[in-house]
Protein backbone atom coordinates (compact mmCIF):
# COMPACT_ATOMS: atom_id res chain seq x y z
CA UNK A 1 0.00 0.00 0.00
CA UNK A 2 1.29 3.44 -0.92
CA UNK A 3 1.21 6.04 1.82
CA UNK A 4 -0.04 9.47 0.79
CA UNK A 5 2.35 11.93 2.41
CA UNK A 6 0.10 14.85 1.53
CA UNK A 7 -2.23 13.71 4.28
CA UNK A 8 -1.54 15.02 7.77
CA UNK A 9 -2.75 13.04 10.76
CA UNK A 10 -4.01 14.80 13.87
CA UNK A 11 -0.73 14.00 15.65
CA UNK A 12 1.36 15.31 12.76
CA UNK A 13 -0.77 18.44 12.50
CA UNK A 14 -0.54 19.30 16.21
CA UNK A 15 3.22 18.70 16.14
CA UNK A 16 3.56 20.87 13.05
CA UNK A 17 1.67 23.68 14.84
CA UNK A 18 3.96 23.22 17.80
CA UNK A 19 7.07 23.64 15.64
CA UNK A 20 5.85 27.12 14.73
CA UNK A 21 6.01 28.11 18.41
CA UNK A 22 9.42 27.15 19.77
CA UNK A 23 8.44 28.52 23.21
CA UNK A 24 5.36 26.25 23.45
CA UNK A 25 5.56 23.37 25.90
CA UNK A 26 3.50 20.96 23.78
CA UNK A 27 0.99 20.41 26.57
CA UNK A 28 -2.00 21.52 24.50
CA UNK A 29 -0.92 19.39 21.53
CA UNK A 30 -0.54 16.43 23.81
CA UNK A 31 -3.96 17.03 25.35
CA UNK A 32 -5.63 17.17 21.91
CA UNK A 33 -3.94 13.93 20.92
CA UNK A 34 -5.21 12.34 24.16
CA UNK A 35 -8.75 13.40 23.28
CA UNK A 36 -8.25 11.98 19.78
CA UNK A 37 -7.42 8.63 21.37
CA UNK A 38 -10.56 8.69 23.54
CA UNK A 39 -12.59 9.59 20.44
CA UNK A 40 -11.29 6.54 18.59
CA UNK A 41 -12.22 4.27 21.47
CA UNK A 42 -15.68 5.78 21.83
CA UNK A 43 -16.15 5.50 18.06
CA UNK A 44 -15.60 1.74 18.20
CA UNK A 45 -18.38 1.33 20.76
CA UNK A 46 -20.74 3.78 19.04
CA UNK A 47 -20.38 1.78 15.83
CA UNK A 48 -21.46 -1.34 17.69
CA UNK A 49 -24.59 0.37 19.06
CA UNK A 50 -26.82 -1.25 16.43
CA UNK A 51 -25.77 -4.66 17.69
CA UNK A 52 -27.30 -4.25 21.14
CA UNK A 53 -29.86 -6.95 20.47
CA UNK A 54 -27.03 -9.38 19.84
CA UNK A 55 -24.47 -8.12 22.31
CA UNK A 56 -26.86 -7.03 25.07
CA UNK A 57 -28.65 -3.78 25.82
CA UNK A 58 -26.71 -1.01 27.51
CA UNK A 59 -27.03 -1.07 31.25
CA UNK A 60 -27.95 -4.77 31.29
CA UNK A 61 -26.10 -8.06 31.22
CA UNK A 62 -25.35 -9.55 27.81
CA UNK A 63 -25.70 -13.15 26.69
CA UNK A 64 -22.16 -13.89 27.82
CA UNK A 65 -23.14 -12.71 31.29
CA UNK A 66 -21.01 -9.54 31.03
CA UNK A 67 -22.20 -6.13 32.19
CA UNK A 68 -22.79 -3.84 29.22
CA UNK A 69 -21.92 -0.28 30.17
CA UNK A 70 -24.20 2.51 29.08
CA UNK A 71 -22.51 4.28 26.17
CA UNK A 72 -22.51 7.67 27.79
CA UNK A 73 -20.89 6.26 30.91
CA UNK A 74 -18.35 4.44 28.73
CA UNK A 75 -17.58 7.67 26.85
CA UNK A 76 -17.19 9.53 30.13
CA UNK A 77 -14.77 6.92 31.46
CA UNK A 78 -12.68 7.06 28.28
CA UNK A 79 -12.44 10.86 28.27
CA UNK A 80 -11.55 10.93 31.95
CA UNK A 81 -9.03 8.14 31.53
CA UNK A 82 -7.00 9.69 28.72
CA UNK A 83 -6.94 13.06 30.45
CA UNK A 84 -5.93 11.61 33.80
CA UNK A 85 -3.16 9.48 32.31
CA UNK A 86 -1.92 12.26 30.03
CA UNK A 87 0.51 14.97 31.06
CA UNK A 88 -1.55 18.09 30.37
CA UNK A 89 -4.71 18.10 32.43
CA UNK A 90 -5.12 18.98 36.11
CA UNK A 91 -8.79 18.02 36.35
CA UNK A 92 -12.07 17.68 34.49
CA UNK A 93 -15.73 18.61 34.65
CA UNK A 94 -18.23 16.41 32.84
CA UNK A 95 -21.91 16.64 32.08
CA UNK A 96 -22.14 13.10 33.44
CA UNK A 97 -20.70 13.95 36.85
CA UNK A 98 -22.15 16.02 39.68
CA UNK A 99 -18.88 17.67 40.55
CA UNK A 100 -15.45 18.34 39.09
CA UNK A 101 -12.72 15.71 39.37
CA UNK A 102 -9.36 17.01 40.60
CA UNK A 103 -6.69 14.56 39.50
CA UNK A 104 -4.28 15.54 42.29
CA UNK A 105 -1.07 13.69 41.45
CA UNK A 106 2.34 15.20 40.84
CA UNK A 107 2.12 15.39 37.04
CA UNK A 108 -1.49 16.59 37.01
CA UNK A 109 -0.85 19.25 39.67
CA UNK A 110 1.89 20.62 37.43
CA UNK A 111 -0.37 20.66 34.35
CA UNK A 112 -1.77 23.96 33.20
CA UNK A 113 -5.12 22.97 31.69
CA UNK A 114 -8.54 21.81 32.85
CA UNK A 115 -11.12 20.33 30.47
CA UNK A 116 -14.91 20.48 30.54
CA UNK A 117 -16.78 18.01 28.33
CA UNK A 118 -20.04 16.38 27.37
CA UNK A 119 -18.89 12.82 26.66
CA UNK A 120 -21.85 11.80 24.50
CA UNK A 121 -24.26 14.49 23.42
CA UNK A 122 -27.51 13.46 21.73
CA UNK A 123 -27.37 10.06 23.38
CA UNK A 124 -31.17 9.80 23.08
CA UNK A 125 -30.50 9.19 19.38
CA UNK A 126 -28.20 6.18 19.77
CA UNK A 127 -30.79 3.47 19.32
CA UNK A 128 -32.11 5.00 16.08
CA UNK A 129 -28.71 5.28 14.41
CA UNK A 130 -28.49 9.09 14.30
CA UNK A 131 -25.21 10.97 14.61
CA UNK A 132 -24.12 11.81 18.14
CA UNK A 133 -21.04 13.55 19.46
CA UNK A 134 -18.52 14.46 22.13
CA UNK A 135 -17.93 18.15 22.96
CA UNK A 136 -15.03 19.68 24.92
CA UNK A 137 -13.60 23.02 26.03
CA UNK A 138 -10.06 23.56 27.35
CA UNK A 139 -9.19 26.30 29.88
CA UNK A 140 -5.87 27.44 31.27
CA UNK A 141 -6.20 27.08 35.02
CA UNK A 142 -6.12 30.18 37.23
CA UNK A 143 -4.99 28.41 40.41
CA UNK A 144 -1.36 27.96 41.36
CA UNK A 145 0.57 25.44 39.27
CA UNK A 146 2.08 22.71 41.43
CA UNK A 147 -1.05 22.43 43.56
CA UNK A 148 -4.35 20.61 42.89
CA UNK A 149 -6.68 22.58 40.61
CA UNK A 150 -9.70 24.28 42.16
CA UNK A 151 -13.34 25.01 41.36
CA UNK A 152 -12.38 28.51 40.11
CA UNK A 153 -10.42 26.91 37.27
CA UNK A 154 -13.67 25.50 35.92
CA UNK A 155 -15.99 28.45 36.54
CA UNK A 156 -14.39 30.67 33.92
CA UNK A 157 -16.25 32.46 31.13
CA UNK A 158 -16.06 30.76 27.74
CA UNK A 159 -13.85 33.51 26.32
CA UNK A 160 -11.01 32.09 28.42
CA UNK A 161 -11.04 28.80 26.48
CA UNK A 162 -7.71 28.18 24.78
CA UNK A 163 -9.18 25.46 22.59
CA UNK A 164 -12.51 23.75 22.05
CA UNK A 165 -13.70 20.96 19.85
CA UNK A 166 -16.13 18.20 19.12
CA UNK A 167 -16.24 14.74 17.61
CA UNK A 168 -19.20 13.78 15.47
CA UNK A 169 -19.86 10.06 15.13
CA UNK A 170 -21.73 10.16 11.83
CA UNK A 171 -21.54 8.77 8.32
CA UNK A 172 -17.85 9.24 8.96
CA UNK A 173 -16.28 10.17 12.28
CA UNK A 174 -14.83 13.65 12.45
CA UNK A 175 -12.90 15.57 15.06
CA UNK A 176 -13.04 19.35 14.74
CA UNK A 177 -11.07 21.61 17.03
CA UNK A 178 -10.32 25.27 17.20
CA UNK A 179 -7.70 27.42 18.85
CA UNK A 180 -7.44 31.17 18.40
CA UNK A 181 -5.40 30.43 15.29
CA UNK A 182 -8.20 28.67 13.44
CA UNK A 183 -10.57 25.74 13.23
CA UNK A 184 -9.55 22.49 11.55
CA UNK A 185 -11.44 19.29 10.88
CA UNK A 186 -10.05 15.74 10.80
CA UNK A 187 -11.84 12.69 9.43
CA UNK A 188 -11.13 9.27 10.88
CA UNK A 189 -9.56 7.02 8.27
CA UNK A 190 -10.62 3.56 9.48
CA UNK A 191 -7.93 1.92 7.33
CA UNK A 192 -5.13 3.38 9.45
CA UNK A 193 -7.13 4.31 12.57
CA UNK A 194 -6.00 7.93 12.41
CA UNK A 195 -7.78 11.27 12.21
CA UNK A 196 -6.58 12.92 8.99
CA UNK A 197 -6.80 16.62 8.18
CA UNK A 198 -9.76 16.86 5.79
CA UNK A 199 -11.22 20.31 6.49
CA UNK A 200 -8.35 22.79 6.96
CA UNK A 201 -9.13 26.30 8.21
CA UNK A 202 -12.91 25.99 8.46
CA UNK A 203 -14.81 29.25 7.96
CA UNK A 204 -18.50 29.61 8.75
CA UNK A 205 -20.13 31.23 5.67
CA UNK A 206 -21.46 34.67 6.74
CA UNK A 207 -24.78 34.03 5.00
CA UNK A 208 -26.59 30.71 5.03
CA UNK A 209 -30.04 29.33 4.33
CA UNK A 210 -30.46 26.62 6.97
CA UNK A 211 -32.26 27.27 10.24
CA UNK A 212 -32.34 24.61 12.95
CA UNK A 213 -34.83 24.81 15.79
CA UNK A 214 -37.36 22.56 17.52
CA UNK A 215 -40.60 23.75 15.92
CA UNK A 216 -42.61 21.70 18.41
CA UNK A 217 -41.89 24.40 21.02
CA UNK A 218 -42.86 27.28 18.74
CA UNK A 219 -45.74 28.62 20.86
CA UNK A 220 -43.58 28.49 23.99
CA UNK A 221 -40.84 30.70 22.51
CA UNK A 222 -40.87 34.45 23.15
CA UNK A 223 -42.21 36.90 20.61
CA UNK A 224 -38.80 37.83 19.17
CA UNK A 225 -37.86 34.21 18.47
CA UNK A 226 -41.26 33.48 16.94
CA UNK A 227 -40.93 36.58 14.76
CA UNK A 228 -37.52 35.44 13.49
CA UNK A 229 -38.68 31.88 12.79
CA UNK A 230 -41.65 33.28 10.87
CA UNK A 231 -39.27 35.48 8.86
CA UNK A 232 -37.17 32.38 8.06
CA UNK A 233 -40.29 30.66 6.74
CA UNK A 234 -41.20 33.67 4.62
CA UNK A 235 -37.81 34.03 2.90
CA UNK A 236 -37.91 34.10 -0.89
CA UNK A 237 -35.16 34.32 -3.45
CA UNK A 238 -35.62 38.12 -3.39
CA UNK A 239 -34.48 38.43 0.23
CA UNK A 240 -31.78 35.80 0.59
CA UNK A 241 -34.04 32.74 0.69
CA UNK A 242 -35.66 30.41 0.45
CA UNK A 243 -34.49 28.91 3.73
CA UNK A 244 -34.60 25.27 4.62
CA UNK A 245 -35.34 23.89 8.08
CA UNK A 246 -33.08 21.11 9.39
CA UNK A 247 -33.17 19.82 12.97
CA UNK A 248 -32.11 16.35 13.93
CA UNK A 249 -32.11 16.81 17.73
CA UNK A 250 -28.41 16.07 18.02
CA UNK A 251 -26.65 19.36 18.48
CA UNK A 252 -23.22 18.22 17.33
CA UNK A 253 -24.63 17.13 13.98
CA UNK A 254 -26.87 20.17 13.59
CA UNK A 255 -24.21 22.74 14.47
CA UNK A 256 -21.51 20.93 12.48
CA UNK A 257 -23.64 21.01 9.33
CA UNK A 258 -24.47 24.70 9.78
CA UNK A 259 -20.82 25.57 10.47
CA UNK A 260 -19.77 24.03 7.18
CA UNK A 261 -22.75 25.02 5.00
CA UNK A 262 -23.86 28.26 6.68
CA UNK A 263 -26.91 28.40 8.93
CA UNK A 264 -28.27 29.16 12.37
CA UNK A 265 -28.96 26.75 15.26
CA UNK A 266 -31.33 27.84 18.02
CA UNK A 267 -32.25 26.33 21.35
CA UNK A 268 -34.23 29.18 22.90
CA UNK A 269 -35.74 29.31 26.35
CA UNK A 270 -39.42 28.40 26.59
CA UNK A 271 -42.21 29.58 28.88
CA UNK A 272 -41.70 26.49 31.07
CA UNK A 273 -37.87 26.39 30.76
CA UNK A 274 -36.67 30.00 30.41
CA UNK A 275 -33.02 28.91 30.18
CA UNK A 276 -33.68 26.18 27.63
CA UNK A 277 -32.03 22.78 27.87
CA UNK A 278 -28.43 23.10 26.82
CA UNK A 279 -25.56 23.38 29.29
CA UNK A 280 -23.44 26.49 29.12
CA UNK A 281 -20.15 24.86 30.10
CA UNK A 282 -20.29 21.64 28.13
CA UNK A 283 -22.34 22.49 25.04
CA UNK A 284 -22.71 26.24 24.46
CA UNK A 285 -19.21 27.51 25.30
CA UNK A 286 -17.24 25.09 23.07
CA UNK A 287 -19.52 25.67 20.09
CA UNK A 288 -19.55 29.43 20.67
CA UNK A 289 -15.73 29.46 20.71
CA UNK A 290 -15.38 27.36 17.55
CA UNK A 291 -18.03 29.33 15.68
CA UNK A 292 -16.53 32.70 16.61
CA UNK A 293 -13.04 31.63 15.54
CA UNK A 294 -14.62 30.47 12.25
CA UNK A 295 -16.21 33.91 11.76
CA UNK A 296 -19.74 33.31 13.12
CA UNK A 297 -21.48 34.45 16.32
CA UNK A 298 -23.12 32.92 19.40
CA UNK A 299 -25.42 34.50 22.00
CA UNK A 300 -28.06 33.60 24.58
CA UNK A 301 -30.39 36.12 22.92
CA UNK A 302 -29.18 38.89 25.21
CA UNK A 303 -25.41 38.67 25.41
CA UNK A 304 -22.43 36.94 23.84
CA UNK A 305 -22.20 33.38 25.18
CA UNK A 306 -18.43 33.66 25.73
CA UNK A 307 -18.88 36.66 28.07
CA UNK A 308 -21.20 34.88 30.50
CA UNK A 309 -19.62 34.44 33.93
CA UNK A 310 -20.78 30.99 35.06
CA UNK A 311 -22.00 30.61 38.63
CA UNK A 312 -22.52 26.87 38.63
CA UNK A 313 -21.06 23.96 36.74
CA UNK A 314 -24.24 22.59 35.20
CA UNK A 315 -26.05 25.83 34.44
CA UNK A 316 -28.25 25.98 31.38
CA UNK A 317 -28.48 28.69 28.76
CA UNK A 318 -30.60 29.63 25.79
CA UNK A 319 -28.37 29.27 22.73
CA UNK A 320 -28.26 30.87 19.30
CA UNK A 321 -25.24 30.16 17.11
CA UNK A 322 -24.29 30.39 13.47
CA UNK A 323 -23.60 32.50 10.42
CA UNK A 324 -22.97 36.14 11.20
CA UNK A 325 -25.62 37.69 8.94
CA UNK A 326 -28.33 35.32 10.20
CA UNK A 327 -27.39 36.04 13.81
CA UNK A 328 -27.56 39.79 13.07
CA UNK A 329 -31.04 39.39 11.61
CA UNK A 330 -32.11 37.36 14.65
CA UNK A 331 -30.89 40.20 16.89
CA UNK A 332 -33.05 42.68 14.98
CA UNK A 333 -36.16 40.56 15.64
CA UNK A 334 -35.26 40.06 19.31
CA UNK A 335 -34.63 43.81 19.80
CA UNK A 336 -37.91 44.78 18.10
CA UNK A 337 -39.87 42.51 20.43
CA UNK A 338 -38.36 44.08 23.57
Residues engaged in binding ligand AHG (CB under 6 A): 121-124, 214, 249-251, 254, 277
Task: Provide the minimum distance between the beta carbon of 118 and ligand AHG in the complex, in angstroms, as a whole number.
Answer: 7
- Identity of the residue, 167 or 251, whose beta carbon is nearer to ligand AHG in the bound complex: 251
- Identity of the residue, 71 or 114, whose beta carbon is nearer to ligand AHG in the bound complex: 71
- Identity of the residue, 254 or 292, whose beta carbon is nearer to ligand AHG in the bound complex: 254
Q: Is 269:276 a contact under the CB 8 Å cutoff?
A: yes
Task: Provide the minimum distance between the beta carbon of 287 and ligand AHG in the complex, in angstroms, as a whole number.
Answer: 10
- Identity of the residue, 123 or 161, whose beta carbon is nearer to ligand AHG in the bound complex: 123
Task: Provide the minimum distance between the beta carbon of 55 and ligand AHG in the complex, in angstroms, as a whole number.
Answer: 22
Task: Provide the minimum distance between the beta carbon of 200 and ligand AHG in the complex, in angstroms, as a whole number.
Answer: 26
- Identity of the residue, 57 or 66, whose beta carbon is nearer to ligand AHG in the bound complex: 57
Task: Provide the minimum distance between the beta carbon of 319 and ligand AHG in the complex, in angstroms, as a whole number.
Answer: 9
Task: Provide the minimum distance between the beta carbon of 214 and ligand AHG in the complex, in angstroms, as a whole number.
Answer: 4
- Identity of the residue, 214 or 244, whose beta carbon is nearer to ligand AHG in the bound complex: 214
3-state secondary structure the chain: CCCCCCCCEHHHHHHHHHHCCCCCCCHHHHHHHHHHHHHHHHHHHHHCHHHHHHHCCCCCECCCCCECCCHHHHHHHHHHHHHHHCCCEEEEEECCCCCCEECCCHHHHCCCEEEEEEEEECHHHHHHCCCEEEEEEEEECCCCCCCCCCHHHHCCCHHHEEEEEEEEECCCEEEEEEECCEEEEEEEECCCCEEEEEECCCCCCCCCCEEECCHHHHHHCCHHHHHHHHHHHCCCHHHCCCCEECCCCCHHHHHHHHHHHCEEEEECCCCCCCCCCCEHHHHHHHHHHHHHHCCCEEECCCCEHHHCCCCCCCCECCEEEECHHHHHHHHHHHHHCC
- Identity of the residue, 113 or 247, whose beta carbon is nearer to ligand AHG in the bound complex: 247
- Identity of the residue, 30 or 134, whose beta carbon is nearer to ligand AHG in the bound complex: 134
Q: Identify the sign of the CA torsion 278, 281, 286, 289.
A: positive
Task: Provide the minimum distance between the beta carbon of 296 and ligand AHG in the complex, in angstroms, as a whole number.
Answer: 17
**CA–CA dist 226, 297 (Å, integer):** 20
Task: Provide the minimum distance between the beta carbon of 205 and ligand AHG in the complex, in angstroms, as a whole number.
Answer: 21
Amino acid sequence: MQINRNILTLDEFTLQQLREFPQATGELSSLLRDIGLAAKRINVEVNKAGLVDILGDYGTTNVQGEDVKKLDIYANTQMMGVLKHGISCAGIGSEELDDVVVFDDEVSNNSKYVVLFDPLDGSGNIDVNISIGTIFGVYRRVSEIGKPCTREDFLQPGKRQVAAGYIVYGSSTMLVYGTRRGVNGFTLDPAIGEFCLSHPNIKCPPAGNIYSVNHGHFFRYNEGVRSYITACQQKTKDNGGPYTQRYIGSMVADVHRNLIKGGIFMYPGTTDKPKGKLRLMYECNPFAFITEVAGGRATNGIQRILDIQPTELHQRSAFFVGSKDMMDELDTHLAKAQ
